Amino acid sequence: MAAEPDADRAAARSGHIPVFLERTIELFRPVVEAAVEEDRQPVLVDGTLGLGGHTSHLLAEFETLRVLGVDRDPDALEMATRRLIAYRERFTPVHARFDDFDAVVAALPEDSRDGVGPTIDGILLDFGVSSMQLDVADRGFAYSVDAPLDMRMDPTTGPTAADILADYSRDELARIFRVYGEERFARQIASAIVRRRESDPLRTSTELVELLYDTIPQGARRTGGHPGKRVFQALRIEVNAELEAVENAVPGYLDLLRLGGRAVFMSYHSLEDKIVKRELSTRTASRTPAGLPVELPGHGPEFAAVTRGAEKASPTEIDHNPRSASVRVRCVRRIDGRTP
């Protein structure tokens, strides 16, 4: 096992601690060992590269591993690439949303194929927001710091949170606050935003937080945590079409996995985890019609669960890294070969 890379000492100093790190390494170990036995280099896609915490440790641990690091945030991608300079022969940065399969497949090594076509040995999708995005004030993700209401993971494209607050109808705003933020005062907040923007549209995080304090009843604020938490989460999900990306990514990457390949999904929101759980339930179930006494050839499950349900962070990890408190980790491996 290689020593801890300098990149991660720097990341630790900046507050970036990879979630479920040791368990992630162990979940992918059989994939790497199988590839070595087959005399080939394994290829893993880190679809949510962020600052490269998981990838740097995986590359340090497995000397034959190649990683494609995908991120829609050009600043995060540049920082991660600099941190991973020691592994430049085995690391390929890809500027794309994690469900942009054309970009991912185009970046795969030419020899990463099976009898069906381009394929990968592993996929890691950590759906949490990058520490850099939360910690850099001017990105507008944090409700505790005054900044423009941007919230775009890729700041080069798409509408901002301020645009959504200015353009969406009251019903549309209420829906995203209720569904994505599980905010029980969603309609009241949406109505307040619509009234406010008639004279002075919301432009900064402080302005939005002040409106929330004025709208949410004081009694509810005493027990419901910071009033900005749920609304900011909902806006971030809407701005970045996060659930749409998850819906596309989970089945898409499962289809790319070669026989024996593994997928690790890390969810932090119940809606993300429901998407993952639903797809994995389908893929790990028999495809033989109900009522038949035997399994039909070619109709068995495509995947087998590696984790029992969703694994959660230990109290020790949560104490060391509070951002791991809400993570739910699921892993499956392909047990049936791909079909054209």
Q: Which residues are annotated as a binding site for S-adenosyl-L-methionine?
A: 52-54, 71, 98, 126, 133
Backbone angles phi, psi at 286, to 5 degrees: -65, 145
Calpha distance 225→235 (Å, rounded): 17
Calpha distance 146→137 (Å, rounded): 7
Cβ count within 10 A of residue 147: 17
Pairing state between β 328-334 and 66-71: unpaired
Contact by Cβ (8 Å): 12, 70: no
Nearest to 119 by CA among 42, 29, 56: 42
Residues contacting 239, CB < 8 A, separation 6+: 151, 152, 158, 159, 160, 161, 164
336, two tokens: 């049936």
What does the buried/exposed string (b/e) look like for 238-265 if buried means 16 or more CB atoms within 10 Å of the residue's CB?
A: bbbebbebbbbbbebbbebbbebbbbbb
CA distances 275 to 2, 100, 177, Å, are 36, 18, 19
Annotation: binding site: 52-54, 71, 98, 126, 133
Residue 24: what residue type?
T
Nearest to 183 by CA among 196, 197, 169, 173: 173
Calpha distance 239→109 (Å, rounded): 32
CA distances 131 to 50, 102, 126, 137, 234, Å, are 8, 27, 12, 11, 18
CA distances 47 to 61, 71, 73, 98, Å, are 19, 7, 12, 5
